[in-house]
Amino acid sequence: MGWDWSSVPTATGRASELAPYLDALLEGEEPRRDKAFSFIYGKVVNQGDLYAGAAPVVDRILAFLRAQGSLPEYAWLILHEIFRGASYGRTVCAPDGEYGIEEYCRRQILGEMAIISRSIAGLTGNAFFYCMLLFGSMGEYSPEVRAILEQEVSTSTGERRQVASDALEVAVELAAERASGVREPSDDQR
């Protein structure tokens, strides 16, 4: 998707300043990835508040995932933070129209479920842990996610199984809360 990054706002500027940090997040060495995560987080999902810059960040990370088949650990974490963030009615002007930021980002991430689920087998350490955080959050919106987590729990052992089990528990709880009406839909889903 062709974003005009210079026209997309972040918490304190424009998305065009994110490009070198996204490069570092996706392809840099460990210390650079850590700093890149902090910078991007502060600009697009500051303390859980989503800003329009989250949308092109999601698209760029997902394009990298499609091309490479996996993501570095902090890319999974930023996807998780964006997925669970809230935009409180703020919108983003994407190349194909205007959307609620939450709606756009969640739709894009959920739309890549097949490639995300295929990448799980090769993940280890923090990359697996952060991916499972994302899956736990996604479980509220997708029964498919819960089935993938159930499969991971049934085939994993040790710490990996525990991390997947914890993500499944979160996914099931969030889905039950939404189904019972305890969790209200966000502004973008009403």
Please say whether the beta carbons of 139 and 171 come within 8 A: yes
Please say whether the beta carbons of 92 and 106 come within 8 A: no
Please state, in angstroms and rounded to a whole number, the distance separating the CA atoms of residues 79 and 64.
13
For 9, the token pair is 């706002």
Distance of CA 79 to CAs 24, 87, 140, Å?
Answer: 15, 15, 15
pTM: 0.92
Domains belonging to the chain, first-starting first, are 5-183 (1.25.10)
Please state, in angstroms and rounded to a whole number, the distance separating the CA atoms of residues 71 and 61.
8
Q: What does each of the 190 residues of the chain score in pLDDT, given as a tens digit?
A: 589 999 999 999 999 999 999 999 999 998 899 999 999 999 999 989 999 999 999 999 999 999 999 999 999 999 999 999 999 999 999 989 999 999 999 999 999 999 999 999 999 999 999 999 999 999 989 999 999 999 999 999 999 999 999 999 999 999 999 888 876 555 444 3
Tally the C-alpha atoms within 13 A of residue 10's C-alpha that lie toward its C-beta.
23
Please say whether the beta carbons of 36 and 22 come within 8 A: yes
